[in-house]
Chain A
């Protein structure tokens, strides 16, 4: 009996959370598209979410591209198909690793920062204060953050694509004795045939997830410092898991044959 009660409680709590998140998402999205718009906040958030994430994302992409080139070289040299290295690096970076690792790094950086900031604003009544100053907190706080993340994540991932491929190129030409011209030509051929759009679409979705999770957990935090800490952790964990899950779903949809 007790066991059933536990299951029931968990199910109800989960459903309640999903309901809360759905309502929050709906409110957030409707406030993004309806005026008034807080342009100043949008630009500020684009700077914080996008521009200041550049170093983290660039370093991640560079080392990932390099490691990828090494691994593919080890694997492909057994079948004498080293010419694949450039192609597979480009494919791996632009389709999967660029968006996913970029998304995860930004999730760690930005979801946490948003959750901590909004969480503190919640527990110090600053969010209530917005309401009393005729400013809708969804419009002023949530909408600019989500819009900024959806706009800047594809740009970040585009940069990550370039730097990731460059990482592979540097490793391939410097330590694996590849011919620079041939490597570049293979890369360009791959990109001309396949493009990078699928990765950028993924990035926009990840941006949405990152900002939404940060805002949602921050907005609903309660109970002082500990509550804000919990909101921050929950934001990063849920954003990361949702990114990985969404990535699988999108890969299966975008590349369905």
Chain B
């Protein structure tokens, strides 16, 4: 455990454990996201995907293990180093998590105005530019999040995630709740914007179409552990019956849902 962090890794998790009361959510996660690559973690609901991402961000505090970002153990940092590290991150939330009290442009500019103390006028220009990158016009900038459709909210969320040109972007179920066409639009926007920024990304999803589109590498999480990892091409011939069951979406297999049969 005392090994040096991997120098090629942007993010590295080692033996991360987290439990909520008696429920073990992360049971020794080991995961490496290499610099500039896009890793997608697939897995069913309730397997610990979100908790894993929130551990890296420091929203959830693991009981055990190490998490390195650029070789620095974020679990041992004090408040101000931690806040500096967070500046490297952008995140697209599952429900977009837009601030409903603020207009769209201010949502996108939020990290710039509040987090980085940029002038509002300057930040607004950047926000409008980022909105146009996700295919939204200047008129949308003046609306409030509640006035937008789900797909538009996701796009605003994406614009907000990339507004401060982060080095690392997290995507939490980027396509959940969207129709297949809008889902693909979001996937393409993610691929394009990540390429433009040269960012490292970590995504979690259970949408295989999305995973294939945005991933360089895929890892599968099951019961709080990473049970398989490999490149996108390898996922179809993984030889792992858990992965095969998941990507083919079958009810029978080693993964048993807790469903009472009638």
Contact = CB atoms under 8 A, between A and B. Distances in A.
Given A38-B114, A134-B115, A129 B83 contact: no
A223 interface: no
A125 B111 contact: no
B145 to A, nearest CB: 10
B87 A134 contact: yes
A128 B54 contact: yes
Contact of B97 (A128, A134, A136, A140): A128
A144 B59 CA distance: 21
A132 interface: yes
Nearest to A125: B97
Interface in B105-147: 110-111, 114-117
A124 B111 contact: no
Given A131-B86, A132-B57, A132-B90, A126 B111 contact: no
A169 B90 CA distance: 61
Contacts of B59: 128, 131
Interface string A102-133: 00000000000000000001001110110111
A172 B22 CA distance: 65
A36 B117 contact: yes
A132 B117 CA distance: 15
A38 B86 CA distance: 19
A14 interface: no
B57 A133 contact: no
Contacts of A136: 83
A126 B99 contact: yes
A129 B114 contact: no
B93 A125 contact: yes
A192 to B, nearest CB: 46
Interface centre among A121, A132, A135 (most CB of B within 10 A): A132
B115 A133 contact: yes
Interface in A136-154: 136, 140
A135 B116 CA distance: 9
Interface residues of A, number: 15
Contacts of B114: 38, 133-135, 140
A131 B83 CA distance: 9
B150 interface: no
B160 interface: yes
Given A134-B83, A135-B110, A129 B91 contact: yes
Interface in B76-108: 83, 86-87, 89-91, 93-95, 97-100
Nearest to A131: B59
Contacts of B115: 133-135
B80 to A, nearest CB: 11
B15 interface: no
B87 A125 contact: no
B58 interface: yes
A133 to B, nearest CB: 4
Contacts of B90: 132
A125 B54 CA distance: 11
Nearest to A140: B114
Nearest to A135: B114
B99 A134 contact: no
Contact of B111 (A36, A128, A133): A133
Contacts of A36: 117
Given A36-B117, A128-B59, A129-B91, A135 B111 contact: yes
Given A129-B93, A129-B98, A134-B115, 14 more contacts: A38-B114, A121-B99, A124-B95, A125-B94, A125-B95, A126-B99, A128-B93, A131-B58, A132-B57, A132-B90, A132-B111, A133-B160, A135-B110, A140-B114
6 contacts: A128-B59, A128-B93, A131-B57, A132-B161, A134-B87, A140-B114
Can you list the 9 inter-chain pairs with the closest CB atoms, starting with the nearest? Answer: A134-B115, A133-B111, A125-B97, A129-B97, A132-B91, A135-B114, A125-B93, A126-B97, A135-B115
